[in-house]
Chains A and B, each alone.
Chain A
């Protein structure tokens, strides 16, 4: 199964991981794994179909952007994965998995022996089987129980208690009591119960750890994007390297092509294009010239620039946003996960119950041995197998269902919080709209004409040409071969198709009548045929209106937050039927969310830009499109793929269904305890009853959670 990793001569230096959308079948896997190594510098590519990721080993000098572009050429959407690579979480999952395997092994083998005892083994055979069980169970408990023992010990040392304390006490007491029973040749040993308990609990913990992602340090990642030293031109004309922190407004900064800009400023000399992906998430470069403003952390791509600094160091917009995000993290009260809330109530209740049974039986005149046996039975029977499985199994199943629909969940509690959201704030550019300039109308319908247009558009690097080429390539149009393709800068591209001249460019150059249309336009003409006028703009996501209508149906009040002018916001708001705030700076967005949160609102913030970061961090729960900035994805709890907005209401619906199932699971688990505990207190629970009750309730909870598999349909 390793043959798919093709190799070239290149030497692997770095590994990059991309999340890829559109991988549906074996053919897609093969296409990526065989196609990517064709790119010079890529050593191998390996697709993980379950998590929709591709891991690319490549030479260190190959940029992530180039690999991303190669994946897009292969017909998939790709985003570099950020905030990942958390080895600690992965290690924990792996430790839990090995502990789970050991517990599973022990449970099966001990059960094998126990069944013989239940079916009537007596005398020396029973004692032999008990000893054998002990020989398997005790080392297994010592190994597989460690996650609980360590956590319980840690809690006790700090004078607190948690769910692991009753578990540890229960398991240890059960093992000790069973060993004593075995030594005196008694009838009942609970080794099977103890290991089975560990097995079910570990299963819950393992699933839970799979859902947990430790929050990545987004703020530090953000500030790393600003260079630490910059080239300053002194008033006498000489240049000097200085620390970015020493910059002051008014200084002149020299930025070479390919360098990151070290401060906010206004361009004085030079013409270039700037990659603003840090701020907007949009990777298409923006042309800039003298008089335009640039921001710290963006990349100067094509030409040298001289910049007059307007804000430096702590005053730059990036630093400002980093600071706001830090505040947001502190201001947000830590959400207590529903499972933790349940366990806070649970631990004291179980301790009290076991203690009461012990004293109760002692008072009633039972011997110490008898009373302890019953107390231990109470501990076993109340152990929270089903309770521990109730939440994580539901979340894992729901997360899998959402993943198949292109929504990634970054944290298990995200679903809990999303289910409670009662208000949704949407960023405009890149969230409600696609965030990139594309043809809105006027594309030719005829496949052949489309091929001609694509061929023309591919000949130019002009943003509009690239937007056309990008759209047509996505739709699977194949370019038609043209001769004499010439680009006339500022005018357009022309070429020959047999006898006819084909042109794409400025309407007047193509001899097209513009009519009533305004805004950004381009014209396309084949020979003397009718000219097509194409209009360009940042289009709404195709399903924005129904998605917002659905959010409203779900009882979430939608609102638009935008940095754009009031006119644009009003126009979009009218189409979608929502109102919103215009001209909002990052701090304004943050304040809106903060005020709503202060009033008890549970805000779902959907955003994609750097300027949404603080608001998203402050919000109750946040979602970001995969095309958004790194910052927005770090701040988000859920990330969705593709050009559609429907994943947002879909995720809300799934979250609510998940919480319904979680609640049902709690009821099932507690109902089981309510039925079983009186039996235990009455002293009627034998190892057989305990085993049946535990596995029965756990299976019931798992089966109920599996109903969520189709939740995202």
Chain B
């Protein structure tokens, strides 16, 4: 049971971190152009 007391909060914290990251990504428009993002890696910046 002591193991659980450590592991469960860790699991939840990681989950929440993922959720927060998703919120940030959605808000800053990371999902606006998924196909384009895959192609932009090929553009040479000069």
Contact = CB atoms under 8 A, between A and B. Distances in A.
A384 to B, nearest CB: 26
Interface in A93-119: 94, 97-98, 101-102, 105, 108-109, 112
Nearest to B45: A3
A556 interface: no
Interface in B12-31: 12, 15-16, 18-19, 22-23, 26
A516 B44 CA distance: 56
B16 A125 contact: no
Contact of B33 (A26, A27, A49): A49
A30 B11 contact: no
A269 B19 CA distance: 69
A102 B37 contact: no
Nearest to B25: A101
Nearest to B37: A1
Contacts of A109: 11-12, 15
Contacts of A1: 37, 40
Contacts of A47: 33, 36
Contacts of B16: 105
B17 to A, nearest CB: 10
Contacts of B39: 25-26, 29, 49
A73 B12 CA distance: 54
Nearest to B8: A132
A125 B1 contact: yes
B36 A105 contact: no
B19 A101 contact: yes
Nearest to B38: A49
A14 interface: no
Contacts of A98: 23, 26
A50 interface: yes
B15 A108 contact: yes
B6 to A, nearest CB: 14
Contacts of A48: 32-33, 36
Contacts of B23: 98, 101
Contacts of B34: 50
Which of the listed residues B11, B18, B36, B42 has the most CB atoms from chain A within 10 Å of its own CB? B36
Nearest to A124: B1
A50 B41 CA distance: 15
Contact of A4 (B4, B26, B32, B43): B43
A26 B19 contact: no
A670 interface: no
Interface residues of A, number: 26
A30 B19 contact: no
Contacts of B19: 101-102, 105
Interface string A43-86: 00001111100000000000000000000000000000000000
* Interface residues on chain B, size class: 20 to 34
A109 B34 CA distance: 27
A312 B39 CA distance: 53
Interface in A104-147: 105, 108-109, 112, 125, 128, 132, 136
Nearest to B41: A26
Contact of B36 (A50, A97, A128): A50
Interface string A17-30: 00000000111011
B33 A50 contact: yes
Nearest to B22: A101
A295 B39 CA distance: 46
Contacts of B36: 29, 47-50
A99 to B, nearest CB: 11
Contacts of A128: 4
A103 to B, nearest CB: 11
B26 A94 contact: yes
Nearest to B16: A105
Contacts of B33: 47-51
A1 B26 CA distance: 16
Given A48-B32, A136-B12, A30 B18 contact: no
Contacts of A49: 33, 35-36, 39
A4 B42 CA distance: 12
A105 B23 CA distance: 12
A51 B4 CA distance: 47
A26 B22 contact: no
Contacts of A112: 11
Nearest to A33: B43
Interface in A214-244: none
A649 B39 CA distance: 31
A217 to B, nearest CB: 26
A105 B18 contact: yes
A324 B1 CA distance: 74
Contacts of A108: 15
A26 B22 CA distance: 26
Nearest to A23: B36
A29 B23 CA distance: 27
A39 B26 CA distance: 32
A399 to B, nearest CB: 14
Given A49-B35, A50-B33, A109-B15, A29 B40 contact: yes
A173 B7 CA distance: 31
A397 B10 CA distance: 38
A30 B41 CA distance: 11
Nearest to A51: B33
A112 B16 CA distance: 14
A59 B25 CA distance: 30
Q: Which 4 A-B pairs have the closest CB atoms?
A: A49-B36, A26-B42, A26-B39, A48-B33
Interface of A: 1, 3-4, 25-27, 29-30, 47-51, 94, 97-98, 101-102, 105, 108-109, 112, 125, 128, 132, 136
23 contacts: A1-B40, A4-B45, A25-B39, A26-B40, A27-B43, A29-B43, A47-B33, A48-B36, A50-B32, A50-B34, A50-B35, A50-B36, A94-B26, A98-B23, A98-B26, A101-B22, A101-B26, A102-B19, A105-B16, A105-B18, A109-B15, A128-B4, A132-B8
Given A94-B26, A109-B11, 19 more contacts: A1-B40, A3-B45, A4-B40, A4-B45, A25-B39, A26-B39, A26-B41, A26-B43, A29-B39, A47-B33, A47-B36, A49-B35, A50-B34, A98-B26, A101-B22, A101-B23, A105-B16, A109-B15, A128-B4
